[in-house]
Amino acid sequence: MNALIGGLAALLYLVAGGWLALRLARSGEGPVWPKRAPLLVGWGAVLLHATILAQTVFAPAGLNLGFFNALSFTGGLINALLLAVTAARPVENLGIIALPAGALTVLLGLLFPDQRIVADSSQWPLELHILIAILAYALLALAAVQALLLAVQDRRLRRRQPGGFLRGIPPLTTMETLLFQLITAGFILLSITLASGFFFLKDLFGQHLAHKTILSLIAWCVFGVLLWGRWRFGWRGRTAIRWTLSGFGFLVLAFFGSKLVLELILRRY
């Protein structure tokens, strides 16, 4: 049953992402297609994905976050956040990348089931800490996708190619505002994650958390400097894009790079 539900979720993710891509591609050829229909398809994918996560991640024994489970949970959360934010902000074009990526994560979670209970059912403060950390990652992942779209928009404008799909996305200033709103929200949650993490830290090296902690702190510093530079010097454009992608790169290494090495290569749990 999970295979059937997961396959359908992946299909709906791909349909929604492809629909949004086609909508953006045709934006310069006539009236912009309504975004409601592909977003509803996306919600269908997220709900089906959530039914799988309810069984695989939120297990009776506790929070099961092996590598592929964590990847699937993060993919589902990123898309749920994206679809929720579209109600108030014009960020639906991020789904062109995020939704197909969600399809990949749900399939990987089903193809490679793994078991790693990171917090049992009685450790609700630790579970809350982990969920806030993943939420911070999801928001900053959306910021990274926004930065990529902003880079394409900036490059085309610099080359004096304003037509085509650029007509279907918000102006550059609006895109930058959305970028920093996502970064600010993610930075706040990442700060809470790092501060609360020290309460659960007993042995930095014994718990195999040294690399993860150091890389997360570097990412936090990068995003912090970027927000300060935006406030103090009005950083924008290519500077904002580079700092955003650099910070997210460190965050990927912290969240999944160290997890991949420990669990899939070194087999340490």
Under DSSP, the state recorded for 27 is T
Query: Which candidate, 153, 145, 143, places its Cα nearest to that of 183?
Result: 143
- 104-131 pLDDT, tens digit per residue, is 999 999 999 888 888 777 777 888 889 9
Residue 27: count of CB within 10 angstroms of its CB? 19
With cut-offs at 50, 70 and 90, classify the pLDDT of residue 57.
very high
pLDDT of res. 162? 60
Higher pLDDT, 256 or 204: 256
pLDDT at residue 210 in the model: 76
Distance between CA atoms of residues 57 and 81, nearest Å: 18
What is the C-alpha to C-alpha distance for residues 140 and 172, in angstroms, rounded to an integer? Answer: 19
205: amino acid identity, one letter: F
Q: What is the pLDDT of residues 134-160, one digit of tens each?
A: 999 999 999 999 999 999 888 877 776
Amino acid at 53: L
Give burial (CB, 10 Å; 0-12/13-18/19+) of 92.
buried
First-to-final CA distance of the chain: 29
Closest CA to 178 of 242, 99, 92: 92
Strands of 58-59's sheet, edge to edge? 58-59, 62-64, 117-120
156-185 average pLDDT score? 81
Q: How far is CA 229 from CA 177, 198, 223, in A?
A: 14, 28, 10
Please provide residue 117's backbone torsions phi and psi, each rounded to the nearest 5 degrees. -80, 110
Distance CA 240, CA 168 (A): 22
Share the mean pLDDT of the chain.
88
Look-up of token digits 């304003």: 162
